[in-house]
Amino acid sequence: MARLGKWLLIGVVALAGVLAIAITATVGWRPLIGPKARPLSNRTFERTPQRLERGRYIASALSGCLYCHSHHDWAAPGTPIVPGTEGAGEVQPEANLPGRIVAPNLTPDRETGAGNWTDDQLARAIREGIGHDGRALFPMMPYMHYREMPDEDVASVIVYLRSLPAVRRELPKTEIIFPVKYLVRSMPEPLTSPVAEDASASDMVRHGAHLVNLAGCSDCHTPQVHGERVPGMDFAGGMILSGAWGSVASANLTPDATGIPYYDEALFVQVLHSGYVKARPLNSIMPVVVYTNLTDSDLKAMFAYLRTLKPVKHRVDNAEPATECKVCRQKHGAGAEN
Ligand code: HEC
Ligand code: HEC
């Protein structure tokens, strides 16, 4: 009996060892021990008119914070924000999310909003993915992109959020399904050095890449399977967005013949301002309500960058019936032709 006990013990220890190596080599320990987070500081961001203006631009045009964090009429053309709910939060409306994902109320309301959160709590959430309560945020909140948001821009957007009228809006909490709930804990990464202003403004392509990152275009235009981007399909479209606006696949934005090779700068600016490609209206889940507020010079820089993307052969046509696509592994219009 004692012998059997000994072997059992060795077996258990060996199994634990193998498991430990497997966990370290695959998902890591973060799903079990919680996200990497830096301690909070007591810094505050001084309110200046310049920051207020810049923050408004980031929140309502470039990064669309208010788009995700406000209540919309999702079935109406253009999915307008319901007046008086700017920044007051929203249960995210897309079908196929891994659970109930809630963009919280960021207005200064003390009970249901961000009124009691410090400036550094907000800054850490925006760029490092840790909520005010220490929780790892679901990366639909694009903190992986916002890591590259310059310090001055983060200060500006927080100054702007503080200027919003306080709105009392009680929302349910985010509930992520298993195992995604644990896996997201390995995503947050503390920022340990300052992020300087984008110095590449004179280099249009690099500046455009910076802007496209902060605008989160790839979150919809790069197809994903179980939350992982399909390799080699950057900006190649095919991601399905379903909800009150219907069901539609994102477009291939690369310069391949199946993408948008026929676009020029003028057409791009016009599409992002109007939501129309010549006479063809875009489905309103393409957030033109946000990008319409971008300056022409920012749009031109974005287009200059999109022009340099690797062409990817991938036909997506929402006017055709949805069929299985073996390239992006989704079911979309003209999918079977790929
Ligand atoms: C694509 C939608 C989307 C965009 C764009 C977006 N957010 Fe979020 N945000 C979310 C969601 C969803 C959550 C909640 C995630 C969760 O509960 O795990 C969130 C969480 C947050 C939090 C954390 C609140 C807390 O609990 O501490 C802050 C702060 C925040 N967002 C600010 C911003 C700012 C500022 C911007 C723009 C620079 C922005 N968000 C853009 C969807 C978005
Ligand atoms: C919330 C998801 C989402 C985001 C974010 C998004 N798009 Fe789109 N986009 C779509 C969808 C869906 C379509 C297809 C609409 C249709 O076919 O009616 C689309 C279509 C387009 C088109 C039209 C292509 C054509 O058919 O001629 C352009 C151009 C475009 N997007 C550019 C961008 C750029 C640039 C960004 C970032 C600044 C961006 N999109 C961000 C979802 C998104």
pLDDT in tens, 324-337: 999 999 999 999 99
Closest residue to atom 41 of ligand 1, CA basis? 65
Tell me, in angstroms, the distance from the centre of ligand 2 to residue 116's CA.
36
**In this structure, which ligand is nearest to the CA of 147?**
1
Which two three-digit tokens encode residue 196? 């300087």
Which two three-digit tokens encode residue 13? 């220890």
Four-CA torsion 88, 149, 128, 288, nearest 10 degrees: 40
Q: Is 294 in the pocket of ligand 2 (CB under 6 A)?
A: no
Asked whether the beta carbons of 103 and 141 are under 8 A apart, the reply is yes
Task: Scan for tokens 């990366």, then name that residue.
Answer: 139
Tell me, in angstroms, the distance from the centre of ligand 1 to residue 266's CA.
32
Closest residue to atom 8 of ligand 1, CA basis? 141
Q: Is 270 in the pocket of ligand 2 (CB under 6 A)?
A: no
CB atoms within 10 A of CB 213: 19
pLDDT of residue 71: 98
Report the largest interatomic distance among the alpha carbons of the chain, rounded to a whole angstrom. Answer: 83
Which two three-digit tokens encode residue 271? 């599409």
- Nearest CA among 183, 231, 137 for reference residue 26: 183
Q: Is 64 in the pocket of ligand 1 (CB under 6 A)?
A: yes
Cα separation, 161 vs 176, whole angstroms: 26
CB atoms within 10 A of CB 168: 12
pLDDT of residue 1: 59
Q: Which residues of the chain have pLDDT under 70?
A: 1
CB atoms within 10 A of CB 306: 22
Could you tell which of 57, 65, 146, 153 is best to mutate to test the pocket of ligand 1, judged by most ligand atoms within 8 Å of the CB? 65
Q: Is 242 in the pocket of ligand 1 (CB under 6 A)?
A: no
Atom of ligand 1 nearest to the CA of 92: 12
Task: Scan for tokens 């479209």, then name that residue.
Answer: 237
4: number of CA atoms within 13 Å, CB side? 1
Which two three-digit tokens encode residue 17? 């060892």
Cα separation, 258 vs 273, whole angstroms: 23
pLDDT of residue 198: 85
pLDDT of residue 9: 76
pLDDT of residue 137: 98
Could you tell which of 117, 130, 141 is best to mutate to test the pocket of ligand 1, judged by most ligand atoms within 8 Å of the CB? 141
Could you tell which of 282, 300, 316 is best to mutate to test the pocket of ligand 2, judged by most ligand atoms within 8 Å of the CB? 282
pLDDT of residue 4: 74
Asked whether the beta carbons of 249 and 330 are under 8 A apart, the reply is yes
Name, in order, each residue with C-beta under 8 angstroms of 328's C-beta and a sequence gap of 6 or more. 223, 230, 233, 236, 237, 238, 239, 314, 335, 338
Q: Is 327 in the pocket of ligand 2 (CB under 6 A)?
A: no
